[in-house]
Amino acid sequence: MGIASPSKAYDESLNDNSAYEEPFAGQKYPKFPHDLPELLKENGKGLIKATPYGNTLTKDMAIAAIEGEGLGEDIHTDLLAVSFSSPDYVGHQFGTDSKEIQDTYLRLDRDLASF
């Protein structure tokens, strides 16, 4: 995972590499930030769900659905349900007070602002 803000901005999370954090396959320690291109080799494309980029991809697909289906362009009510699930995966793997979850929510806030 990249850094959404300067690392000192992650002051609402606990110390990194805590005992309750689980590393990705191929990592000895769950040290933030993570080298995702390297981790992709061992973890495969499913890695994205446990990163903030899963939310970004979901947002991009929702925007494509709105535009591609012409949602909101006629008199009929349209419904598009969107679930941003990366915080659940990240929280279970790294904990609710981890740098990874703080990074995920900082990025989700940006994604929602652009949505």
Question: Running along the chain, 115 residues long, what does each successive block of 10 average in pLDDT?
Answer: 58 88 94 93 95 97 97 96 97 96 96 94
For 36, the token pair is 């995702």
Cα distance between residue 106 and residue 80, in whole Å: 24
**Other CB atoms within 10 Å distance of the CB of residue 69:** 11
Question: How confident is the model at residue 4, as a pLDDT?
Answer: 47
pLDDT confidence of residue 7: 59
| Spatial separation of the C-alpha atoms in residues 9 and 3, rounded to whole Å | 10
Which residues constitute the domain of residue 62?
48-114
Per-residue model confidence (pLDDT) at position 11: 83
What's the number of domains the chain is made of?
Answer: 1
With 0.85 as the threshold, say if the pTM is over it.
yes
What's the alpha-carbon Rg for the chain, to the nearest Å? 16
43 in a structural domain: no
Q: Looking at the domain assignment, is residue 67 inside a domain? A: yes
